[in-house]
């Protein structure tokens, strides 16, 4: 069983490419699970409501909810039944977004029981490109704010992945996600072949 995780900022193509990788892998095996975080479970629903600004938790509580959603997610996946489990986002998302307000060591600590991925595929996309993909007809100020947030998150992603590679031997491949869906897909398939995952 191989556990593959897609990571990247909003609009980088995570759901598109995780679905395409699943389709590619069905040539090898039918035993594939494509899943995502936050989950559709009860704790995931609380998180989604927070992200949509319908309810509010303080940052520490939200961090604990993310970690609890993850342990619940992992407890519900029968890893032995699959050859590949692909997750659209995992703990690195959490670290990259939340360490802007919460201590990274605390976030790592509360996720220490989470299963380590065999491969992390980071879709490296310019924040401007992501904004173009996800927003339409927004006013200038909002666009600017979003770009700033995406830039900060991307920078954080890069720092954190560097740290996790060095200290936790995390296996990360970077894919240039600025190109067409098909070009990106081919690179991901190539990375899978190279890694023998
Ligand atoms: P994420 O899950 O990372 O937020 P999505 O896969 O939902 O991103 O993609 C966001 C939008 O951008 C979708 O409308 C999708 O069709 C489009 N998109 C994804 N990848 C590309 C690409 N390489 N080039 C152009 N548009 C893309």
CATH code, domain with 7:
3.40.50.300
45 lines ligand 1 (CB under 6 A): no
**What does pTM read for this prediction?**
0.95
Quick one: CA dihedral 155, 186, 120, 163, positive or negative? Answer: negative
Ligand 1 atom nearest 177 alpha carbon: 23
Tell me what pLDDT residue 139 has.
57
Question: How many angstroms separate the Cα of 45 from the Cα of each of 13, 38, 97, 104?
Answer: 22, 8, 18, 24
Ligand 1 atom nearest 17 alpha carbon: 6
Task: Kindly give the distance from the C-alpha atom of residue 180 to the centroid of ligand 1, in angstroms, as a whole number.
Answer: 10
Range of the domain at 78: 2-195
Tell me what pLDDT residue 44 has.
97
13, 126, 184: residue to mutate for ligand 1 pocket, most atoms within 8 A of CB: 13
pLDDT per residue, tens digit, the chain (197 aa), is 999 999 999 999 999 999 999 999 999 999 999 999 999 999 999 999 998 889 999 999 999 999 999 999 999 999 999 999 999 999 999 999 999 999 999 999 999 999 999 999 999 999 999 998 887 655 555 556 689 999 999 999 999 999 999 999 999 999 999 999 999 999 999 999 998 78
Task: Locate 175 and state its tokens.
Answer: 């894919």
Tell me what pLDDT residue 154 has.
97
**Residue whose CA is closest, atom 4 of ligand 1?**
11
Task: Kindly give the distance from the C-alpha atom of residue 177 to the centroid of ligand 1, in angstroms, as a whole number.
Answer: 10
**List of residues 6+ apart from 85 with CB closer than 8 A:** 1, 2, 3, 4, 32, 33, 35, 77, 79
Hey, is 163 helix, strand or coil?
helix
What total of structural domains would you count in the chain? 1
């Amino acid at each position: 069983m191989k556990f593959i995780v897609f990571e990247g900022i909003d609009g980088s193509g995570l759901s598109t490419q995780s679905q395409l990788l699943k389709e590619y892998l069905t040539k090898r095996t039918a035993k594939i699970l494509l899943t995502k975080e936050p989950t559709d479970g009860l704790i995931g629903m609380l998180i989604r409501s927070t992200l949509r600004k319908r309810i509010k938790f303080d940052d520490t509580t939200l961090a604990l909810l993310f970690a609890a959603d993850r342990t619940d997610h992992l407890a519900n996946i029968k890893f032995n039944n699959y050859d590949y489990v692909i997750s659209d986002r995992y703990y690195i998302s959490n670290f990259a977004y939340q360490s802007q307000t919460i201590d990274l060591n605390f976030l790592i600590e509360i996720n220490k029981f989470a299963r380590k991925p065999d491969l992390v595929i980071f879709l490296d996309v310019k924040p401007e490109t992501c904004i173009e993909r996800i927003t339409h007809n927004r006013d200038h100020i909002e666009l600017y704010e979003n770009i700033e947030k995406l830039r900060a998150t991307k920078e954080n992603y890069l720092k954190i992945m560097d740290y996790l590679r060095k200290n936790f031997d995390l296996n990360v491949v970077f894919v240039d996600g600025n190109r067409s869906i098909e070009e990106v897909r081919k690179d991901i398939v190539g990375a899978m072949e190279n890694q023998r995952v």
